[in-house]
Amino acid sequence: MKSAFPVLLLILWMVKPLVADVDFANDVAPLLAEKCLDCHNDREPKGALDLSTKKSAFAGGDSGVVITPGKLQESYLWERVAANEMPPKHPLSDAEKQLLQKWIEEGAKWSLEKIDPFAFTTSARAGYDWWSLKPLAKVQPPGCSRAKTPSMHLSEPNEMSTG
Is 42 a residue that touches ligand HEC (CB under 6 A)?
Answer: no
Residue 134: CA atoms inside 13 Å, Cβ hemisphere, count?
Answer: 8
Give whichever of 123 and 162 is closer to ligand HEC, judged by the CB atom: 123
Are 53 and 115 in contact by the 8 Å Cβ rule? The answer is: yes
Are 36 and 53 in contact by the 8 Å Cβ rule? The answer is: no
Answer for which of 58, 74, 76, 118 binds ligand HEC (CB under 6 A) is 76
Answer for which of 29, 72, 86, 99 binds ligand HEC (CB under 6 A) is 86
What's the closest the beta carbon of residue 65 comes to ligand HEC, in angstroms?
A: 8
Which of 48, 64, 72, 56 is closest to 115 using CA atoms?
56
What's the closest the beta carbon of residue 54 comes to ligand HEC, in angstroms?
A: 15
Is 40 a residue that touches ligand HEC (CB under 6 A)?
Answer: yes
- What is the C-alpha separation between 32 and 65, in angstroms, rounded? 17
Interaction residues for ligand HEC, span 89-108 (CB under 6 A):
92
Collapsed DSSP state (helix, strand, coil) of residue 64: strand
Concatenating the DSSP letter of every residue in 15-37 gives: HHHHHSPP-IIIIIHHHHHHHTT
| Contact region with ligand HEC (CB under 6 A), list: 46-54, 109-117, 122-130, 151-159 | 46-54
Is 28 a residue that touches ligand HEC (CB under 6 A)?
Answer: no
Is 61 a residue that touches ligand HEC (CB under 6 A)?
Answer: yes
What's the closest the beta carbon of residue 129 comes to ligand HEC, in angstroms?
A: 19
Report CA torsion sign: 44, 49, 53, 55: positive
Give contact residues for ligand HEC (rule: CB under 6 A): 35-36, 38-40, 46-47, 49, 60-63, 66, 76-77, 80-81, 86-88, 92
